Amino acid sequence: MESKPYQREKSSWVRVTRAEPCPICERPDYCTRATDGMVVKCMRVESHKPVANGGWLHNLSEPLPTLVAPKRTKRTKKQDWTRECRQMYEHAKAADMRRRVAKKLQVSESALDRLRVGIGWDEWRHREFSSWPSRDHNGRCIGYVRRYAAGSKRTNLGGGTGVFYTHRWWQLPGPVLIVEGGSDVAACDSFDIPAIGRASNVHGGAWIGRLIRRHAPDKRIVVIGERDEKPEKRGRVASCPPDCTGCAYCWPGLYGMRKVAAELGGVGLMVPPAYKDIRDQLTRGGLAELLEALAEIYHVTRKKTK
């Protein structure tokens, strides 16, 4: 029988940090741990106890702390994320932010402009960030990602998780690359390559499918997975045996690529042959190699369909 989702009281959780990373996936973000130190909610490694609002519980000691059902709250008026993202995009300092981000990521300012990247300041330490609108299949902003100068990223509190794309993705020639993150979309758009970016390795299949059916049903689709394999992790948790061929724990990029590709169906798959991700590939002079790899994917696909 499938386990029912669990939900702990919000006040009993604290975020992991670089100083105290998640003990399950060893990453410094997204995951949380109980203040009593007995349970971890990991957002990357699955267990038999899924959490209602995302992630999985992992016991670090016994007994398991008491888990409570989420309290019902009154519905409030939805935040107008489109308006907020527009304000950050139109801010007087937004153009300067796009120039700085373009230089750091080695992408074009025009690509960042088409993604409507803006500027904002967080409410915790008043740190400056670039805002990356996250959209649904209708182009409506349902949230945004904050990208800080040091490289860390945070999904805006209260917002939804959509996908990243420019207004012209379906008008550009060639295959549509389903990449991971807004910066990969910016890199592809800088080279006139159509792309849609999922917010994480596993997210976005539903939005992407609707976008493709509406605007580009006849285009070839290739889902890209990041080259972030960690073979030294295999065999360290029950869900990742020593002979694992790529799961969310030891190779999240490959795992997410396969998951999203399965949701879309009938698409090509590719992990950059010598680079971590597509942005790395394009900004380091690997355009010709990418096009060659895509051509090979088409060739194999045609042979299979004959």
Please give the biggest Cα pair distance in the chain. Answer: 59
Domains and CATH numbers, the chain: 12-62 (no CATH), 79-161 (3.90.980.10), 162-306 (3.40.1360.10)
Q: Is the pLDDT of residue 8 over 50?
A: no
**Where is pLDDT greater, at 185 or 54?**
185
In angstroms, the CA 287 to CA 225 distance is 17
| CA torsion through residues 233, 239, 241, 245, sign | negative
What pLDDT sits at residue 157?
78
- Examine the pLDDT at 188 and tell me if it is beyond 70: yes
Indicate yes or no: pTM above 0.85.
Answer: no
CA atoms within 13 A on the CB side of 197: 27
Which of residues 236 and 98 earns the better pLDDT score? 98
- In the three-class reduction of DSSP (H, G, I as helix; E, B as strand; rest coil), residue 146 is classed as strand
Could you report the per-residue pLDDT of 243-285, keeping only the tens digit for each? 999 998 999 999 999 999 999 999 999 999 789 999 999 999 9
**pLDDT tens, 205-251?**
999 999 999 999 999 999 999 999 999 999 988 889 999 999 989 99
- Is the pLDDT score of 147 beyond 90? yes
User: Which pLDDT score, from 0 to 100, does residue 299 have?
Assistant: 63
Q: Is the dihedral angle over the CA atoms 292, 294, 298, 300 positive or is it negative?
A: positive
- Which DSSP symbol is given to 240? B
Could you write out the three-class secondary structure of 157-210?
CCCCCCEECCCCCCCCCCCEEEEECHHHHHHHHHCCCCEEEECCCCCCHHHHHH
| Amino acid 95: pLDDT | 98
Per-residue pLDDT at 62 = 43
**Mean pLDDT over all residues of the chain?**
85
pLDDT at 146: 94
By mean pLDDT, which of 71-80, 100-109, 114-123, 201-210 is the weakest? 71-80
Between 282 and 38, the higher pLDDT residue: 282
| Average pLDDT score over residue span 90-104 | 97
CA distances (Å), 187 to each of 9, 49, 150, 178, in order? 41, 38, 19, 13
pLDDT of 91 > 70? The answer is yes
